[in-house]
Amino acid sequence: MKKALVAATAAAIFATLASGVSAKSLTVGFSQIGSESGWRAAETTVTKQEAEKRGVTLKFADAQQKQENQIKAIRGFIAQGVDAILIAPVVATGWDAVLKEAKEEKIPVILLDREIESPKDLYLTAVTSDQVFEGKVAGEWLAKDVGSKDCKVVELQGTTGSSPAINRKKGFEEGIKAASNIKIVRSQTGDFTRTKGKEVMESFIKAEGGGKDICAVYAHNDDMAVGAIQAIKEAGLKPGTDIKIVSIDAVPDIFQAMAKGEANATVELTPNMAGPAFDALEAYLKDKKEPKKWIQTESKLYTQKDDPMKVYEAKKGLGY
């Protein structure tokens, strides 16, 4: 009896020690989609930085836009016995089997920046931004900025039918709902690209009396806003003063435009999804505290007052 007790205590002490050691040097696997956009590259960089800051050993796998590569990587992580797995899922379906394998091995899984259609008990939590909220922040900024003046807005939408385009449009409309003086007079897709943003803006300027009637541009991403700024300049108007520019994403180039006074505001889609994920993970491993199933990242608003050049310098090296 006594012997058993000693053995049990020893085991308990050993277990605490062991878990203490593992808490100090966590090993986390990260399955990234790929590097299809600047934002994606920045997310990878920031994730590596966040891991380093916390002394977490990060095993990184680039899936080159393929789900089978991601599943292979996750199985690899499970075989290596990592303490947790981060996934930026490339698609929403088809994850149940591999997530069950992770659950059987008691490895917590955290989703980054996109959600999936799987039973919620198969993953610990999902860290994503709220795209509707991003649009709303942009809309509310514009409503506050123009005050009671009449304002005709032209909208550059993202790729037709894509979820950021739908949600950012919806959010912006919510944001300006209270202000009856603000009206969206034209709305077209610019496919999230600079070229199309510029081409669409050129047409808008011609269709709206040479651009003098347009008070603001709302672009679903910064790249289209950069294109629109060029179109406005070539039409002989001043972007930022004659026509206000508000957009979403906060990529470095828009801060350069802001520093020159050519853009007015941008809402950040933070590349730091890993920070909140690691926080939740550490809390969970320490005292088994289940986090909420959805952790919303901050959608921070940047304007010309926020020292855009400094933000630009800080963001430049992230790989955008």
Residues that bind another protein (CB under 8 A): 35-38, 41, 157, 160-161, 186-189, 191, 193-195, 198-200, 202-204, 206-207, 223, 226-227, 230, 234-236, 253, 319-320
Report d(CA 238, CA 232) in Å as an integer: 7
Report d(CA 65, CA 140) in Å as an integer: 35
Pairing relationship of beta strands 265-268 and 301-303 according to DSSP bridges: antiparallel
In the chain, what is the greatest distance between 2 CA atoms, to the nearest angstrom?
Answer: 93
Whole-number minimum distance, CB 245 to another protein, in Å?
A: 16
Both tokens of 278, joined, read 């690691």
Helix 222-234 × helix 194-207 angle, to 10°: 50
Whole-number minimum distance, CB 58 to another protein, in Å?
A: 20
Whole-number minimum distance, CB 299 to another protein, in Å?
A: 23
For another protein, which is the closer residue by CB, 83 or 223? 223
Q: From 309, 317, 210, select the one nearest 255 (Cα to Cα).
A: 309
Whole-number minimum distance, CB 25 to another protein, in Å?
A: 31
Whole-number minimum distance, CB 195 to another protein, in Å?
A: 6
Whole-number minimum distance, CB 66 to another protein, in Å?
A: 15
Report in angstroms the alpha-carbon separations of 97 from 17, 75, 144, 313, 315. Answer: 33, 11, 49, 43, 38
Query: Are 88 and 33 a contacting pair, CB within 8 Å?
Result: yes
For another protein, which is the closer residue by CB, 47 or 118? 47
For another protein, which is the closer residue by CB, 246 or 254? 254
Both tokens of 88, joined, read 């930026």
Whole-number minimum distance, CB 187 to another protein, in Å?
A: 7
* Phi and psi at residue 237, to the nearest 5°: -110, 165
Query: Are 112 and 124 a contacting pair, CB within 8 Å?
Result: no
* Phi and psi at residue 273, to the nearest 5°: -90, -25
Helix 252-259 × helix 308-316 angle, to 10°: 150
For another protein, which is the closer residue by CB, 91 or 207? 207
Q: From 42, 25, 61, select the one nearest 274 (Cα to Cα).
A: 42
Whole-number minimum distance, CB 36 to another protein, in Å?
A: 7
